[in-house]
């Protein structure tokens, strides 16, 4: 049973370019969360999605950032017109539907390390 998959593992972009980060949840998991970790800091919640729905985006910056989790395919975190301050590790996590699993599971992917030059 494959874990949470994220790609790419490392992404380098120049200022002003777009960054697309992908996350495939664990099999059977329908909830996806994105977190950002700035250097030497803890993880900060960005957005929570279920299939085709954004449930909570309270941690998303108001501009340039968007997320989706389509019916088919991985969840995508998109950052437009990247700036140096976007350099960070972006982690995706997934959990099973409510009422399934033990309710406490949230498994993380390996992260995507974004570097903006």
91 in contact with another protein (CB under 8 A): yes
Nearest distance in Å: CB 45, another protein: 5
12 in contact with another protein (CB under 8 A): no
95 in contact with another protein (CB under 8 A): yes
CB 32 within 8 A of CB 23: yes
Cβ closer to another protein: 14 or 102?
102
- Binding window for another protein (CB under 8 A); candidates: 11-19, 21-29, 74-82, 97-105: 97-105
Q: How far apart are CA 34 and CA 61, in angstroms?
A: 12
- Phi, psi for residue 25 in degrees, rounded to 5: -70, 170
33-62: contacts with another protein (CB under 8 A): 33, 35, 41-45, 48, 55-56
- Phi, psi for residue 2 in degrees, rounded to 5: -65, 150
Measured from the Cβ of residue 40, the count of other Cβ atoms closer than 10 Å reads: 5
Give the binding site for another protein (CB under 8 A). 31, 33, 35, 41-45, 48, 55-56, 89, 91, 93, 95, 98, 103-111, 113
């Amino acid at each position: 049973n494959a874990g949470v998959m994220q790609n790419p593992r490392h992404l380098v972009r120049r200022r002003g370019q777009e960054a697309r980060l992908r996350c495939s949840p664990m099999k059977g998991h329908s909830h996806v969360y994105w977190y950002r970790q700035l250097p030497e800091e803890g993880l900060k919640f960005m957005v929570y999605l279920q299939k085709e729905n954004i449930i909570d985006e309270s941690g998303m910056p108001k501009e340039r950032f968007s997320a989706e989790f389509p019916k088919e395919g991985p969840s995508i975190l998109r950052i437009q017109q990247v700036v140096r301050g976007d350099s960070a590790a972006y982690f995706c996590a997934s959990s099973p539907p409510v009422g399934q699993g033990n309710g406490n599971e949230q498994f993380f992917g390996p992260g995507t390390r974004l570097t903006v030059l």
